[in-house]
Amino acid sequence: MTTPVKATVGPQEKELLLKQIPLLRGKKVLIIGDVCVDEYVLGQVRRISPEAPVPVLEVEEEDVRLGMAANVAQNVVSLGGEALLVSVVGNDTGANLLRELSAKSGVVSEYLVTDTNRPTTRKTRVMAKHHHLVRVDYELRRDLSAETEAALIRRVEEVVDQADCVVIEDYKKGVVSRNVIERVVEICRKHGKRVLVDPHKTSSGPFYKGVDLIKPNYDEALTLAGMDFDDLRYNPNKVVEVGRALQKITGAREVVLTRGKDGMTIFSHDEVTEVPTYARKVFDVTGAGDTVIAALALGLVSGLSLVHSCMLANFAAGVVVGKVGCVPCEIPELQEYIQTAH
């Protein structure tokens, strides 16, 4: 069994990352996957309803943001890159809102496919300060029709040459099927593009077979590798076994296994490297995985090694978990975080 190497982030590594950030600018990432509009209704609870035993939220603020693969895209842009978004939306107000938010964020949304038989996914979170009271989902969780899937693949073929790499973001709403993965991998190999995937925990490892890099969290990795969840969840000595099993099942050259406060474990050909986390405070982990895959992709296409790209991604994630909801990591925040992290 390979013994993991523990990476450290000293002054030299910080200097390297800070010098690399300007080189992210202009790098193009093609993001394929499920998108949504995240809506937030924020306020305070001071009483219980006389009509039913439920809290009454006194609304103070409402907000709308890009979510899921669209959040990956806005993180790419906020870090200096260019995001090309391929997904499916409905013919509805949600789609209009998503396009408006994309335009404001600098995300290229002209490659979205419209399906009149599907709604645009919206998630409404009702919150009292940092506490979720309820979430309301508007969505249709089923595979795309053959016609819509073919249109999606045509969009990928149209735009792939513009991209420096491709990210598949799977939230299991229907956009990412096994056929889509196979076709995207085939197209990317033909055009010499690297394929990174952020998987969903309900899939099996073979579902993502053919991608170059897969980035699950530890629980997702257990399920994807078909391993016993109860037996392995709290056993850090099994991390290498889980990662290597997933690497074998998917055929991915590289696995980046995220482990929350314990950082990341990176699996390449014959090396296993552990990268520590840098989160100073955690308010909300929503969207942190989106930030990680965005920063990771930009780091790789800008010339960073996988280990240094993961360091960059960990710093970016440390920024966004200190905020509430899906928010992108901005360059000044990232620079300040790297400079001040201990």
DSSP secondary structure string, 178-199? HHHHHHHHHHHHHHT-EEEEE-
d(C-alpha 160, C-alpha 136), whole Å: 35
CA end-to-end distance (rounded Å), the chain: 31
| Residue 270: per-residue pLDDT | 79
Give the per-residue SS3 of 58-107: EEEEEEEEEEEHHHHHHHHHHCCCEEEEECEECCCHHHHHHHHHHHHHCC
| Residue 199: per-residue pLDDT | 95
d(C-alpha 86, C-alpha 31), whole Å: 6
Report the CATH superfamily, name and number, of domain 5-35+68-119+142-340. Ribokinase (3.40.1190.20)
| Residue 326: per-residue pLDDT | 67
Token pair belonging to 318? 């440390």
pLDDT tens per residue across span 244-255: 999 999 999 999
Q: Taking the chain (342 residues) in consecutive chunks of 10 residues, what is each chunk's mean pLDDT?
A: 79 93 97 96 95 96 95 96 98 96 95 97 92 93 96 98 98 96 98 97 87 93 78 65 90 92 87 81 68 96 96 90 75 92 74
d(C-alpha 289, C-alpha 131), whole Å: 20
Count Cβ neighbours within 10 Å for each residue of 309-319 and write b for 16 or more, e otherwise.
bbbbbbbbbbb
Shortest CA distance to 203 belongs to which of 225, 233, 175, 228?
225
Question: What's CA 311's distance to the chain center, in Å?
Answer: 16
d(C-alpha 279, C-alpha 329), whole Å: 13
| Residue 234: per-residue pLDDT | 46
What are the structural domain ranges in the chain? 5-35+68-119+142-340
Residue listed under structure tokens 């895209």: 73
Concerning whether 290 is annotated as a catalytic residue, the answer is yes
Per DSSP (E only), the strands in the chain are: 5-6, 28-33, 35-48, 55-68, 82-86, 88-89, 113-114, 122-128, 131-138, 165-169, 194-198, 213-214, 254-258, 264-267, 272-275
Dihedral in degrees, nearest 10, Cα atoms 332, 334, 340, 342: 180
Token pair belonging to 154? 């045509």
| Residue 202: per-residue pLDDT | 83
The answer to whether 194 and 160 have CB atoms below 8 angstroms apart is: no
Question: 195: which strand partners?
Answer: 166
The answer to whether 28 and 163 have CB atoms below 8 angstroms apart is: yes
